[in-house]
Structure 1
């Protein structure tokens, strides 16, 4: 079993699509640990605010098979197969960390660069796994969040009724 962290986001009916995504992930991976949910501005394009969260799970799937399964879940919940990176999403699921793997594996960048770049990934990850250490930066997620300029990407806690 490999411990992994996934980032989930939605800016199209997030109260609908995030719980659906979590249910499908639980069916695929088993028990999940789920971070608080945060609302933040769309990054890279004009659009409705995103709701984001991070989940921790374990898997026996390799990175490539996991990525395919995640895309299948996204497509089942309205993500167009040709969606551009900076566009609205009903459901977006990204592999953030897969064990301690580093590099590009089966087309997936590990650890995902957004961990260090975006508050909507780093803050929930720091709350879910504060003492875990980023495999490249060498600092805990608590330390990384403490050093992050949170005013650059303001977040607001929101409630996701599960």
Structure 2
């Protein structure tokens, strides 16, 4: 059984797509543990603010199957493949960690943006404060404490999760 950490982000009908994405993840992975929801300014382009969070689940799926499942969920929620890298998103789901795997294929693990994007690191540090980054060897809480918080602006926002969602929240 692998423990996976999942980043979710959206700035197109964000409440709708975040709820739908979480319910779809629950269908495929069962119980989810969730960070708080954060609002952040768009990074890399001028656009509306994003809602971001991190979820954790356990799975018997391979990395390849997990990533394929995420792509299927994104597509079901209106994600169009081939969009510019920095553009609005109905739903963006990324695999951040798969146990302590370090790999480049089929995806980069641990995901590089953990160390550079506040909208990934802060919710991950909330959800897994004592877990060590498998490359740099520091806990996510320590990485967040050391992060230059002037780089990107984000803030926790109230969010009411669907009553259909069986989860544990921070």
- TM-score interval, smaller chain: over 0.9
2:137 is aligned with 1:138:
yes
Alignment partner, residue 17 of structure 1? 17
List per-residue Cα deviations over 1:28-55 (Å, max 9, x = no partner). 0010000001111111111111110000
1:1-150 matched pairs, under 5 angstroms: 1-106=1-106, 108-150=107-149
Kept in 2: contact 1:3–1:59 (CA 8 A): yes
SS in 1 for 2:68: helix
- Please report how far the alpha carbon of residue 84 of structure 1 lies from its aligned counterpart in structure 2 after TM superposition: 2.2
List per-residue Cα deviations over 1:73-124 (Å, max 9, x = no partner). 0001010122222111010000000011102122x00000110001000000
Alignment partner, residue 153 of structure 1? 152
Kept in 2: contact 1:42–1:49 (CA 8 A): yes
Aligned residue pairs total: 161
Provide structure 2 residue ranges, at least 5 long, that are not aligned to the other structure.
Answer: 162-170
Alpha-carbon RMSD across the aligned residues, in angstroms, is 0.8
Q: Which aligned runs of 4 or more in structure 1 are off by greater than 3 angstroms?
A: none
- Give me the whole-angstrom Cα distance separating, in 1, the residues matched to 2:94 and 2:85: 12
List per-residue Cα deviations over 1:4-45 (Å, max 9, x = no partner). 100000001111100100000000001000000111111111
TM-score by length of 2: 0.93
Provide structure 1 residue ranges, at least 5 long, that are not aligned to the other structure.
Answer: none
SS in 1 for 2:108: strand
